[in-house]
Amino acid sequence: MGIVVSKPQHRVSLGSILDNSCETIQEISVRTVYRFGKIIGAGHFGVVREAFSSDSSLKVAIKSISKGASDYSRAKVLREVKMLKSVDHPNIIRFYEAYEDEKSIHVATEYCEGGHLWGRMLKKVKYTETEAQVLINQILMAVNYLHLHKIVHRDIKPENFLFISPDHDELKLIDFGFAKKYNKFLSMHKQLGTSYYIAPEVLKGNYNQKCDEWGIGVIMYTMLYGEMPFYCQDLFFTFDKIKRGSFNTTSDSWNQISSTGKDLIKKLLSVNPSKRISAKKALNHEWFHIFADNNPLIDSSLIVSFQEYCKSSLFCKELLNLMIKNITFDELRELNKLFIKLDEENKGMISTKQLQKHLQSSSISISEKKIKELLKEIDTDKDGNINYTEFLAAAVCSKHHFSQEEIWAIFDLFDIERKGFITANDIRRTIKREGCALDKDVESKLIKTIEKKEAKIDYKRFLEIFMNGIQK
């Protein structure tokens, strides 16, 4: 999983297209960029395949959306890509790049080895509450993050959550084909979703973002009860049960669920969306008390990494943000868990105040002034919060050994014309194309530094700049 590079005549990123929708998408063959493997999913839109970069062994998933599909809309695909580019959360699939040829648009994302949640639910049939808490917590965090950014998913179901690996429980939300930006004044009317998870108000054709919470309620009930709450062979009766919010609460299976578990299910499956619990409030529900005592442990190596990151030049910090995509999830697993624990407000980001509090309460000897200086440097987009990528970039700075292959991949990301060198203009275009969240003043300073010192940077100099972490 990582940044994919290729020959310039074959590579196109939709980032520039989204920034300027009037541009024509270049016709290319995605197979010159990737070596395709087996099909891992299929639907009315087309297929999903595993694939490898032609220049490395990096593995990605490629969703190929057929232009011949009955409901194909180029504008819809571009909206989905734009939405995927805008999100940055440990429980949401990472978008890499997109390509277009005569027959399809191909969207490359991180590859998840563990299959979808529904597959595990079928094998397991019934979860203990402790097991379910781990998964429902992640699902709620992903949905809460989307809702904080005014995005409604509109197809929350177990098939749209993938496990990173077969042996672990980390989940990623996928498939933003129905996702939509919303505001509090806008109701949605189009009936979308999957039959057994669709909210009653969606069936009535007048709904808001709370339709996502309903889907979570269906998943939670199915995990703990062992059967779907509204399943009937005839969809007419399924929809009737959904509209009435009628599910079994009298059997032995229901009685075996804790009172707090029952309460959360009922609040998620409230027929009235105005009374339905939000993802934000659900994360603070009593049922999740098991997580309350897990205080995050910050060791000295994290501080060392933060300090190394802060010594780096602006250019190197941006490179680290881009290179995070190249690092395997196994290497990031513990940092991923730490980020989630530090994110006390479940926003998908850590406030600088929160992190300062945890650093001060740790046994590490570091002054309050120094902590503030570190956090100010890590917050590259200067919004008062440290997002997922910013945290990972700072945390791996001194821990991860970056290979020449990874550094070459980043160099080629800037050198899209394969000139053998990069300029300030190449850097400017790449920052825009990749959606890097740099403050305008910071971006201007970065560009001026390159322009002032070096008109052209070849790979040898690029490697030197990165490894030294300074700009001279």
Cα(9)–Cα(427) distance, rounded to whole angstroms?
19
The token pair at 340 is 């989630």
Q: Which two tokens stand for residue 190?
A: 């189009």
Indicate the helix (H) or strand (E) that contains 159: none
Output the six-digit token pair for 7: 């020959």
With b for 16 or more beta-carbon neighbours within 10 A and e for fewer, the 85-95 pattern comes to: bebbbbbbbbb
**Residue-wise DSSP of 32-49:** GTEEEEEEEEEETTEEEE
- What mean pLDDT is predicted for residues 40-47? 82
Please say if the pLDDT value at position 4 is more than 80. Answer: no
Q: Which of 324-333, 352-361, 394-403, 435-444 has the lowest mean pLDDT?
A: 435-444
66: enclosing H helix or E strand: strand 59-66
| 414 phi/psi in degrees, rounded to 5 | -80, -40
Q: What is the mean pLDDT of residues 285-291?
A: 82
Structure-block tokens of residue 175: 């498939």
Q: Is 275 annotated as a binding residue?
A: no
Which of these ranges, 71-85, 92-106, 343-357, 429-443, has the smallest mean pLDDT? 429-443
Residue scoring higher pLDDT (324 or 413) = 324
If we measure between CA atoms, which residue out of 107, 88, 89 comes closest to residue 17?
Answer: 107
CA 452 to CA 313: how far, in whole Å?
Answer: 15
Neighbours of 114 (CB within 10 A): 18
Among 190-199, 326-335, 395-404, the minimum mean pLDDT is found in: 395-404
Tell me the C-alpha to C-alpha distance, in Å, between residue 157 and each of 194, 208, 378: 8, 17, 35
> pLDDT grade, residue 324 (50/70/90)?
confident
Give the residue, 400 or 42, on which the prediction is more confident: 42
Q: What letter represents residue 15's amino acid? A: G
Give catalytic status of residue 412 as yes or no. Answer: no
Reduce the DSSP state of residue 113 to 3 states and report it: coil
**Interval 47-58 mean pLDDT:** 82
Element (H or E) spanning 467, and its range? helix 459-468
| Of the candidate ranges 2-11, 214-223, 278-287, 456-465, the one whose mean pLDDT is the lowest | 2-11
Least confident of 12-21, 23-32, 360-369, 434-443: 12-21
Both tokens of 441, joined, read: 């003043």
Tell me what the mean pLDDT of segment 212-233 comes to.
96
The band of 443, judged by pLDDT with boundaries at 50, 70 and 90, is low
pTM: 0.83
Tell me how long the chain is: 472
| Residue 448 pLDDT | 64
Measure the CA–CA gap between 456 and 472, rounded to whole angstroms: 13
Q: What is the pLDDT of residues 290-311, one digit of tens each?
A: 655 556 677 778 888 888 888 8
Whole-number average pLDDT of the chain = 82
Distance CA 438, CA 57 (A): 30
> Are 111 and 59 contacting, i.e. CB atoms less than 8 angstroms apart?
yes
Cβ count within 10 A of residue 325: 23
- Residue type at 38? K
Per DSSP, the three-state class of 408 is: helix
Given pLDDT bands bounded at 50, 70 and 90, which one contains residue 400? low
Task: Return the C-alpha torsion angle 283, 192, 103, 413, nearest 10.
Answer: -20
**Helix (H) or strand (E) segment spanning residue 95:** strand 95-100
- pLDDT > 70: percent of the chain: 83
Contact at 8 Å (CB) between 55 and 46?
A: no
* Mean pLDDT within 10-30: 42
DSSP E strand stretches across 159-287: 161-163, 171-173, 180-181
pLDDT in tens, 363-389: 677 777 888 888 888 887 778 889 998
What is the separation, in whole angstroms, between the first and last Cα of the chain?
32
Q: What is the pLDDT of residue 239?
A: 96
Catalytic residue among 19, 55, 101, 155: 155
Q: Higher-confidence residue: 95 or 54?
A: 95
Give dist(CA 207, CA 193) in Å, integer. 12
Distance of alpha carbon 432 from alpha carbon 446, whole angstroms? 13
Model confidence over 167-209: pLDDT tens digits?
Answer: 889 999 999 989 999 988 778 988 888 899 999 999 999 999 9
Query: 293 or 228, which is more confident?
Result: 228
pLDDT band for position 62 (cuts 50, 70, 90) = very high
